[in-house]
Structure 1
């Protein structure tokens, strides 16, 4: 996963810019009420409150040049100041009677969207304290007629509404922001996994190309070494060091040629066994290629073909990196948690291609079964350590591996579902089913 931004997740420049907008808006509102509407406003206290916000902005702008990322603690202090400053300004202009009291929600929402949960919780406490203080004490609302007051029960309703709004918005926005960050991290991990699989897929072709390119220079070196040995043979004694050096040169050249021949032969053998990656391979060969790195002793892994009815021969599918890595992740999980065996059943008909992966392990936790596929949701499986999850907690594993596998396979057109088998020898057994449209998957280029 990509590392977090050094120093924090919010820029000082952003907070300064937003605060300048707030200062300009407060000045305009003050002038409109005082001059445009001819209301009596305590200008000096209001001007001091606005000036305090402007001075803080000047200090932050002058004292911190360039791009500065604030940590959660410092960003929380800036937002807490904005809350208190706005509460003071509202307190001298009507308190809860002032319709602009809803602006107290803004700093809390900003914190919920960008900062840690504990900072947002503290700001919620500050906001509730400010709202309560405004309900208990505030100067009268500026008005032409004197004595404008809302009933106490109405102001109590405003207080309750603001407290509920502060708590609800903080919880709602922070939950959405957390899910968004988790999804972004999980997608980045998926892209890294796909890039790694693509590099591995290209490694065989690179080895073959290197063998082909280096073959000609090595052949030339071998020919020159033989010519040198032949020219020196009549004049050098049998025990001459130079004759020995020429022999070593020929032997090492032959060894290099054998190594390059082997490198060039291995991609050809893999292509014959699994099919050319640029063409089509049987779906069972695709499953074999995905499972090969994770097979281990003690666990029997079987691939069973089950054509439906009068279906045609085994489908030929592209050897896509997405499919290899996605299936490999699911197979790795089955093999890691299986007690004695795991099975991949491939079935097909004229319209669909289905892969059913089962094992005799403990199965998935029913409590999280419906949430599998979301990043950082525990799979609820207990057993040996596994790379299937990232950031595992004790024996439970997080569901980033499920998310990566599902995301990659969905790119090939697959639909995944997760479930548990009936009780099998004391264990439930897990079941993962992937279904493709044959027309879509076989036509992939």
Structure 2
């Protein structure tokens, strides 16, 4: 519709220039008032079309056909008033048929071809003849050839402009559809992984509980109770078992099971500080810091998925041989900006070009980029976006932009209601 509006403006301006040239320079008498009324009608049609586009509703085939039909009617009236089939601009009907063939389904295109053919036949039977001045009436065929040349140039230029723009729109649409198909495949992949992870979490619950009971019994056995070293080992094993249980609980929560029991009301400051402290406790050799630039308390519901996203980014930075990791938090209106910076080796160029795609990793081991793949898709599900780049001084920065409404208490309460 927008392409048709632009072409219609060109047509209106072209008609004004042509009518003025024929009337003033060639001194051919034309019915200026009705011809000007047609140009004004085209301008009004364009204004109505622009108002129609503001509705943001899809433009259907029938609607496009009606608009093209109005263009054909305007051209037919102008040709009727200026010589009918003897007017060299009669070939502009082919432009209308071409636009219908490009934009519309085949039945609408054939209908447009039939209507323009009928208009052509009608103009051959009835039209207002042109009365040429004596200076031009001596060689009217030469004047007709000149008009044909001008019409051919106009047709060719408009076709190039229109077809290239429509082709660009079609390519953009195809690229968008391909991107949507890729996202659908990725989301299906996530669902499969989520089902597998949820099933594994349920299956692991029983053996972990059994191991916890056995370790508790061992701790009170006389043969082991008197050995401080064995007691320390048993305590460490119990700590690791509790950690395994927390991970399984997190997987189940992320899968949507028993989320209401574990949903904790907190503030964004406390959530980020606790997250950094927990990751530091799990990896005491790593140096991680928090830069809090939020400028105030933000009540939220602690989301295990967001926690896992940041853990994945921390783990990825550590695996990239980073000795320092920094989590920066700031607000930009209603958007939460989280940055994870490190001084590691950074991302390879091919990784940045396909950031977040599954099975794209420079690490030759199991996992192969699924962590970043999950980061990108979870953030996208929360309504945010992810960007990554390498730092000039070395290392990399991953930026998460999240709407605060996706984790704020008010939004969660509304979703629950």
Q: How high is the TM-score relative to the length of structure 2?
A: 0.37
Between Structure 1 and Structure 2, the one with more helix by share is: 2
Which structure has the higher relative contact order (CA within 8 Å, separation 6+)?
1
Q: How high is the TM-score relative to the length of structure 1?
A: 0.35
